[in-house]
Structure 1
């Protein structure tokens, strides 16, 4: 599921960080890899129009 806003980005990064120690091959690791791809895609797509620094809470 693509990330569509900075708020969703913030949530995805937080979930990614919670999954940092998931064992290889686990559902958590697979979710972490999905989030990694989605986060990177968001940054590529929005790199020119993003605010500098940490996304603020809305």
Structure 2
């Protein structure tokens, strides 16, 4: 898995944009939303950004 930089909160303006490093995992389309919820419940920042894809924050 390759790490890449992602930006969160940019839709609210540059002042609120946060850049962080994450990895993207591919799962079955119907499992992406439940995986995101499980990761968030464990305190891991994750986002279901597209069908079958979940971004997981790995660094600040």
**TM > 0.5 fold call:** no
- Larger relative contact order (Cα-Cα within 8 Å, sequence gap ≥ 6): 1
Higher strand proportion: 2
Higher helix proportion: 1
What is the TM-score of this pair, normalised by structure 2?
A: 0.29
